[in-house]
Amino acid sequence: MSFTIPRQYPGTRMRRMRKDDFSRRLMAENTLTAADLIWPVFVLEGSNRREAVPSMPGVERLSIDLLIEEAREAQALGIPALALFPVIDPELKNELAEEAYNASGLVQRCVRELKAACPALGIITDVALDPYTSHGQDGILDEAGYVQNDRTVEVLIKQALSHAEAGADVVAPSDMMDGRIGEIRRLLEQERLHNTRIMAYSAKYASRYYGPFRDAVGSAGNLGKADKSTYQMDPANGDEALQEVAMDLAEGADMVMIKPGMPYLDVVRRVKDELRVPTYAYQVSGEYAMHMAAFERGWLEDDKVILESLMCFKRAGADAVLTYFAKRAARLLAK
């Protein structure tokens, strides 16, 4: 039974506690630290290579050697984990995404080298086929161009296993195929990879906020004008997200992801309130690009808006946020 104290003006003046910095800090309901940040990074082949992503000012694709240097800095700033996304050479892409589970592939080699250089830094890998398919979809197509669920899952479990065997701490299926969490968990247990965690992209929406990311990984041209609405969620739906999350948890997910982030904070709140599990959100490429465009034009105060945007995720119930602002935010929080 709850009891609400009747509060009336002038006995209660809500501004009293807002007057000074010390009292504002004492009553703050949420806090933001570097430990709340996960840094998404893009890796490409070669050495001493860095390529700017035009639609994401300040974000670069990095070769493994340069990424290791950046990873060391991120760890020193207190960021607990990075999320790895590959830029695959076009000649390695095909309709069956066979490069996705190559034990000597870009992601697998990158994981091994990152874990050797930064053993305490959490490495999260993306389990999805769109960087590897010649058509840019997240799965194997039938003759009509429809993504086949079960055939795709067969490839995803091979991909997840290859990441885990390379040393990934967390595999993160972002494909939205039905049943893939259970199949990945079954295989990890079978191979005695009991402590490999699964971060399920459980509520991933068929959003138009992903455009700059697809440019960054090189899948935009392959996808063309096609969309992913037959497997990613309809932005109109909220209850469906709760079903998706509950099913992934029942199949063995350790934590769940809502994507995109800020336009879907209501979903973050509902998942956290109703299921009370480790809940994460992704401040996606489109959100980043919009912020950067406003910053460059002087329309928004950059540092303050970055921290405010991230605090909104914490207030909504996110335990951590994947954000391209991670290193910048960590530096600001250290001041």
**β partners of residue 257:** 201, 280
From 93, 158, 228, 259, the catalytic residue: 259
Contact yes or no for 313/260 (Cβ under 8 A): no
Catalytic residue list contains 204: yes
C-alpha–C-alpha distance, residues 242 and 269, integer Å = 11
From 93, 204, 228, 327, the catalytic residue: 204
C-alpha–C-alpha distance, residues 182 and 176, integer Å = 13
The answer to whether the peptide bond before residue 173 is cis (omega within 30 degrees of 0) is no
The answer to whether the peptide bond before residue 263 is cis (omega within 30 degrees of 0) is no
Q: State the SS3 of the chain.
A: CCCCCCCCCCCCCCCHHHCCHHHHHHCCCCCCCHHHEEEEEEEECCCCCEEECCCCCCCEEEEHHHHHHHHHHHHHCCCCEEEEEECCCHHHCECCCHHHHCCCCHHHHHHHHHHHHCCCCEEEEEECCCCCECCCCCCEECCCCCEEHHHHHHHHHHHHHHHHHHCCCEEEECCCCCCHHHHHHHHHHHCCCCCCEEEEEEEEECCCCCHHHHHHHCCHHHHCCCCCCCCCECCCCCHHHHHHHHHHHHHCCCEEEEECCHHHHHHHHHHHHHHCCCEEEEECHHHHHHHHHHHHCCCCCHHHHHHHHHHHHHHHCCCEEEECCHHHHHHHHHC
Catalytic residue list contains 314: no
- Catalytic residue ranges: 204, 259
